[in-house]
Amino acid sequence: MRYVVETDKPAQQAVEDLKAAVERHGFGVLHVHDLKSTFASKGFDFPSECQILEVCNPQQAIKVLSEDMGLNIALPCRISVYEEAGRTKIGMAKPTEMLEALSDSPVLKRIAQEVEQKTMQMIDDAK
């Protein structure tokens, strides 16, 4: 259900490279959740970097929501850059497998396959 790659880059460089790849592939970054900073602002020490990028392609999102408005719970796509065991990783939940649990629409399956292919390429490009 997950697609995760390792990179030799520091986490912040991987985030910047991922943002550039997102733009190159016609998606946009809607928001970045910096968990380490957020937890610190709440008084908690979180030792690892973890940034979650919410990414979206408006054209694909509109197609999904036009087919099934209830799938707004699965949008936007999220790609994470995080540290684990001293390594930087970039990963996501696969849209095709997530969709299988939420819908059996062949139209949505095609869209999920397209989005999954592009988001995996973004991750690979940022690696």
Quick: pLDDT tens for 2-43: 999 999 999 999 999 999 999 999 999 999 999 999 999 999
Domain count for the chain: 1
CA-to-CA separations, 45 to 38, 40, 74, in angstroms, rounded: 10, 6, 29
CATH number, position 63: 3.30.310.70
Predicted TM-score (pTM) of this structure: 0.93
What is residue 27's predicted lDDT score, i.e. its pLDDT? 97
Q: What is the CA radius of gyration of the chain?
A: 15
Domain range for 42 is 2-126
Segment 56-87, tens digit of pLDDT: 999 999 999 999 999 999 999 999 999 999 99
Residue type for position 107? V
What is residue 58's predicted lDDT score, i.e. its pLDDT? 95
What is residue 100's predicted lDDT score, i.e. its pLDDT? 87
